Amino acid sequence: MLRYRFTAEGFHRMAEAGILPEDARVELVEGEILTTSPMGKKHAHVLNTLVDLLSPLRGQAVISIQNPLVLGPVTEVYPDLALLKPPRTRYRDRLPEGEDVLLLAEVADTSLDYDLTVKLPLYAKAGIPEVWVVDLVRDRVYVFRRPTGEGYGEREALEGGELEALGLRVPVKEVLP
């Protein structure tokens, strides 16, 4: 028996018809509807920190927080933060897709495995050039660059030093809680 895969279009119809659970954070990942547990305070804090630290890039990128990102016909995810190609009006009538993303950041606590094994390959496949995953359990930031068909050619785990986003330097210690 074959599991039915929802399309992004069907997913939107459900949202419009008010069918999906309102109180849950819902994503469409390869045709499956997934719900996420409510965000913890550490996660929220680190996300706020990232927004602060990356805000100098306002002129160079659209800073998109927990907004939809379409990755092909059966996947629509809500990354914690994405730096998108400007201008903002580019996304007035459509949702951003993989090729619009300059950098993507996820904050992970219990979801680390899922982020690394399921979502990361999807980001790579969509050609997203750089992904940061902040690991709240081990206090480190994983940096992935050079997307290939299945994964990233370059990966680093940073516990100190600096991250770099569009020329802006961000100390790892400031990102970690």
Partner 1 sequence: MTRHRISLEEFHRMVEAGVFPEDLRLELVEGELLEMSPIGPKHAFVVRKLTTLLAPLALENKALLSGQNPLVVGQSELYPDVVLLRPHSDGPDRHPQGQEALLVVEVTDTSLRHDLSVKVPLYAQGGVPEVWVVDREGRRVLVHREPREGGYKEVRTLGPRDTLAFMGVEIPVEELL
Q: At 157, list the tokens.
A: 């785990």
* Cis preceding-peptide flag for 73 (omega within 30 of 0): no
The dihedral sign for the CA sequence 112, 162, 41, 124 = negative
* Of residues 29-68, those binding partner 1 (CB under 8 A): 29, 32-37
For residue 4, state whether it binds partner 1 (rule: CB under 8 A). yes
Q: How near is the Cβ of 36 to partner 1 at its closest, in Å?
A: 6
How far is it, in rounded angstroms, from Cα 129 to Cα 161? 21
Q: How near is the Cβ of 79 to partner 1 at its closest, in Å?
A: 13
Question: Near partner 1 by CB under 8 A, which window of 2-10, 84-92, 101-109, 129-137?
Answer: 2-10
For residue 76, state whether it binds partner 1 (rule: CB under 8 A). no
Out of 67, 85, 111, 121, point to the residue binding partner 1 (CB under 8 A).
111
Nearer to partner 1, 21 or 153 (CB): 21
**Are 116 and 133 contacting, i.e. CB atoms less than 8 angstroms apart?**
yes
For residue 21, state whether it binds partner 1 (rule: CB under 8 A). yes
Beta strands in 8-48 (DSSP E): 25-29, 32-36
How far is it, in rounded angstroms, from Cα 114 to Cα 104? 16
Question: Near partner 1 by CB under 8 A, which window of 14-22, 64-72, 85-93, 157-165?
Answer: 14-22
Nearer to partner 1, 54 or 105 (CB): 105
DSSP symbol at 177: -
Residue 132, amino acid: W
For residue 109, state whether it binds partner 1 (rule: CB under 8 A). no
Out of 8, 27, 74, 134, point to the residue binding partner 1 (CB under 8 A).
27
In order of 52, 80, 103, 151, the CA distances from 36 in angstroms are 25, 12, 22, 24
Residues binding partner 1 (CB under 8 A): 1-4, 6, 10, 13-14, 16-17, 19-21, 24, 26-27, 29, 32-37, 111, 114, 118
